[in-house]
Amino acid sequence: MNEELLLTLIRIGGAVALVAVVGTLAARRVQFLYGLVRKARPQPERVTRDAIVGNVKYLFTKILGQQKLLRWSLPGIAHFFVFWSFLVIQTTLIEAVGELFDPTFQIPFLNRIALFGVTAYDVLGFLQDSFILLTTLGIAIFAGIRFALDPRRVGRRSRFAGSNLNQGWWVLMGEFLVVWTLLVAHGIRAALDHAPTEAAFLSIRAGALFEGMDPFVLELTSALMLIGHLGIVGWFLLFTLNSKHLHIATIPFQELFARQPKALGKLRTELIDMENMDEDTVLGVGVVEDFGFKHVLDMYTCTECGRCQSQCPAWNTGKPLSPKMLVMDLRDHLYAKGPFLLGKESEEEAADVINMQLVGDTPGQENAVIDYDVLWSCTTCGACVEECPVDIEHVDMIMDMRRYKTMMESSFPQEAGVMLRNVENAGDPWGVGQSKREEWTDKLDFDIPVLQPGTEAAPELEYLFWTGCAGAVDDRSKKITQATAQLLHDAGVKFAILGKNETCNGDPARRLGMEYLFQMLAMQNVETLKSVGADTTNPRASGDHIKILAWCPHCFNTLKNEYPDFDGHFEVLHHSEVLAKLIDDGRLVATKEIEAKITYHDPCYLGRHNEVYSAPRAVVDSVPGLQPTEMGRCRSNGFCCGAGGARMWVEENIGKRVNMERVEEALEMDPDLISTACPFCTTMLSDGIAQKVQEGTLAEGKVEVLDISEVLQRGRLLPMAAQGVAGAGGGQDAPTQEPAGQA
């Protein structure tokens, strides 16, 4: 057998055998993964033409631009290098396959395309070699990060705690072998004088190492190296399909069906008809295959990077919830149950997996995929979703499981049961009752019109002030409602309230998983708001609609984002937005200088959930003398107060209290004032300050927690009319509808 025939047999025979083995194994795995996606619950809202077309542009910024990854500079840059080398180096596979048949193979036409004497192959060769260097640098950075954050040394503080550590190292090794074998193969190609371009500076230099070798040995080494390179790529493909690295194959599909304009958004609404329910009706998710297909793709796409975990308030305060590990546990359970779901195992063979509860009924339950305390530790703050580089919807998955546990099994923290009964019977979580919802107006020296359901708001009324449960019945929050109302009055804003006709928006019930109660309240409130002229699709007889002003971010989020699912289309503004606009227009001016250092806490449902960051800061910044300072965790990176997700009504008895973690961070700024824009945050931060005073680590009166409206009110000496500022109307005119409060 001559040498040329031997080389041909090695090259082609080895390649065919390699492709056959890798192709068969890869096809079987893809078939398994695709089959599980098909078993998931359909999500028709994710596959509409508008949704998919809108996501195509997002794919370019998210994937090609590495937008979210670059928010963490060093690992983001390293990933950018590795990702783009992955794309550029795909061209070398075309070359490698071609060279198996013809050692002199070049990608057609690239040397015929030239500009200013530079061919397309010159550019490609330079990029290929450049990315070999950049990939090596990226791998070194990743290795350094993994060494520095090794959880075996730093424990829970590592974002890699709970990840498959060995898989991470295998990924780095595979990436290194791919670029190393590529460099050697290109070096031999250069030594054989087959290099398509001299611009491949690294390959040309590597080729010098092989000068003087016997031509046959060089050809044989080239063939073996090409087979080796393709073998490494094939192994890496199989490893990818069977590991956390699966995201490189699934992320284009997962992002194609992502929620827009951001992954963190309104919860899924599936209307509940209690009258037509039967024994087969399932509410929420009680088995893993009931998750939506997008959430199955989320499980596949988790990179185990731990960014979500590093930002999670529950994990950071010693609780068992890690958003990353929750997704990993669901994914592993799905894989284990897969053969049964796809008809490859009988019920008897899969009994151990089938009989596992998705969520346990008690802490530490052994035959459960997700522990009881893991599910109920979540504050739904959205930090996990905001931080996730691949837009996994952790909050939606948690809420789907809560719905099942609450409505199908009545398994939830029992202290929250009091809140649910109060919301259902009294219309507020505290059980105070609707009859007392107007008492906060008693201390005002002006009247506020009260709108009556079924009667449109008068044309001169611009806003309906939705006070919310806390703002109407909680003693501390009433002061903020009063401050906001006073500021609106002083600025000449015409507004009204619903008073006794307002009831809970349903957010606490929904976030606990009691979806049915939420939907009842939502439909009731939508009907009321429509009847007074707030519907943007059916305005008042005067030709416009009355805008809704809410100061509780939970009310704001629910009315604005979740009521449209119940045909409630309203223009909803947060009080920070309205106050900032009034300041901008010169209708509210702070003239009293306050010498104080102040830091602002971002409420999760105002900030991350609704992207309102600047308006509340603008209100605080308008007060002369104040020295604003930002906490390390602020804006989209803000840290939760611990009250969201119905946690306001659930005792916190594991690890450190979330509000204490946040208060301690605020105190590091040495502030005189802590401002915020949410009743829950105000309560939790105030409680934290009180505990510090009780412990003796903080002097009484040293730090005060105020809403932004209270900060602004302190910075004003006189009502606007008395100051003679243009645009102030001296408060509301005589009420045109039933008044609340007496002069």
Q: Sorting pLDDT into bands at 50, 70 and 90, what band is 90?
A: confident
pLDDT higher than 70, residue 727:
no
Lowest mean pLDDT among 88-92, 255-259, 369-373, 446-450: 88-92
Q: Sorting pLDDT into bands at 50, 70 and 90, what band is 60?
A: confident
Q: What value does the mean pLDDT take over residues 28-44? A: 97
pLDDT higher than 70, residue 721:
no
Q: How far apart are CA 687 and CA 682, in angstroms?
A: 8
- Find out whether 490 and 728 touch, Cβ atoms under 8 Å: yes
Q: Sorting pLDDT into bands at 50, 70 and 90, what band is 718?
A: low
Element (H, E) at 382: none
3-state DSSP of 174-207: HHHHHHHHHHHHHHHHHHCCCCCCCCCHHHHHHH
Q: How far apart are CA 583 and CA 713, in angstroms?
A: 12
What is residue 212's predicted lDDT score, i.e. its pLDDT?
87
- Find out whether 412 and 513 touch, Cβ atoms under 8 Å: yes
Q: For 553-605, what is each residue's pLDDT tens digit?
A: 999 999 999 999 999 999 999 999 999 999 999 999 999 999 999 999 999 99
Q: What value does the mean pLDDT take over residues 629-638? A: 97
Q: Which of 683, 679, 633 is nearest to 657 (CA)?
A: 683
Q: What value does the mean pLDDT take over residues 207-223? A: 90
Q: For 231-286, what is each residue's pLDDT tens digit?
A: 999 999 999 999 999 999 999 999 999 998 899 999 999 999 988 888 889 999 99
Bridging pattern class, strands 547-550 and 463-466: parallel
Q: Sorting pLDDT into bands at 50, 70 and 90, what band is 334?
A: very high
| Helix, strand or coil, per DSSP, at residue 738 | coil
Residues 6+ apart with CB under 8 A from 609: 264, 265, 382, 553, 557, 561
Helices (H), 159-303: 165-191, 201-207, 215-241, 247-256, 293-301
Lowest mean pLDDT among 225-229, 274-278, 728-732: 728-732
pLDDT higher than 70, residue 83:
yes
What is residue 723's predicted lDDT score, i.e. its pLDDT?
44
Q: Sorting pLDDT into bands at 50, 70 and 90, what band is 307?
A: very high
| Better pLDDT: 682 or 15 | 682
| Helix, strand or coil, per DSSP, at residue 683 | helix
pLDDT higher than 70, residue 719:
no
Mean of all residue pLDDT scores within the chain: 93
Q: What value does the mean pLDDT take over residues 721-736? A: 42
What is residue 726's predicted lDDT score, i.e. its pLDDT?
37
Distance of CA 53 to CAs 43, 58, 532, 551, Å? 16, 9, 37, 35
Residues 6+ apart with CB under 8 A from 404: 282, 283, 284, 285, 286, 358, 359, 513
Q: Report residue 278 CA to chain centroid gap.
A: 35
Q: What value does the mean pLDDT take over residues 83-96? A: 89
Q: What value does the mean pLDDT take over residues 669-687? A: 98
- Strand extents, DSSP E, 117-165: 118-119
pLDDT higher than 50, residue 660:
yes
Q: Name beta bridge partners: 96.
A: none
pLDDT higher than 90, residue 686:
yes
Q: What value does the mean pLDDT take over residues 317-329? A: 98
What is residue 276's predicted lDDT score, i.e. its pLDDT?
85
- Find out whether 335 and 304 touch, Cβ atoms under 8 Å: no
pLDDT higher than 80, residue 743:
no
What is residue 729's predicted lDDT score, i.e. its pLDDT?
40
pLDDT higher than 60, residue 23:
yes
pLDDT higher than 90, residue 26:
yes
What is residue 1's predicted lDDT score, i.e. its pLDDT?
56
Q: What value does the mean pLDDT take over residues 147-176? A: 95
Tokens representing residue 670 in the block: 């040495």
Percent of the chain exceeding pLDDT 70 equals 96
| pTM metric for this prediction | 0.93
Q: For 113-148, what is each residue's pLDDT tens digit?
A: 998 899 999 999 999 999 999 999 999 999 999 999
Q: For 61-74, what is each residue's pLDDT tens digit?
A: 778 888 888 888 89
Q: How far apart are CA 679 and CA 682, in angstroms?
A: 5
What is residue 722's predicted lDDT score, i.e. its pLDDT?
42
Residues 6+ apart with CB under 8 A from 62: 68, 255, 391
Percent of the chain exceeding pLDDT 90 equals 83
Q: What value does the mean pLDDT take over residues 178-184? A: 91
Q: Sorting pLDDT into bands at 50, 70 and 90, what band is 730?
A: very low
523-527, Cβ contacts within 8 angstroms, sequence gap of 24 or more: 523/566, 525/559, 525/563, 525/568, 526/563, 526/566, 526/567, 526/568, 527/453
User: What distance, in Å, lies between the first and last C-alpha atoms of the chain?
Assistant: 110
Q: Sorting pLDDT into bands at 50, 70 and 90, what band is 732?
A: low
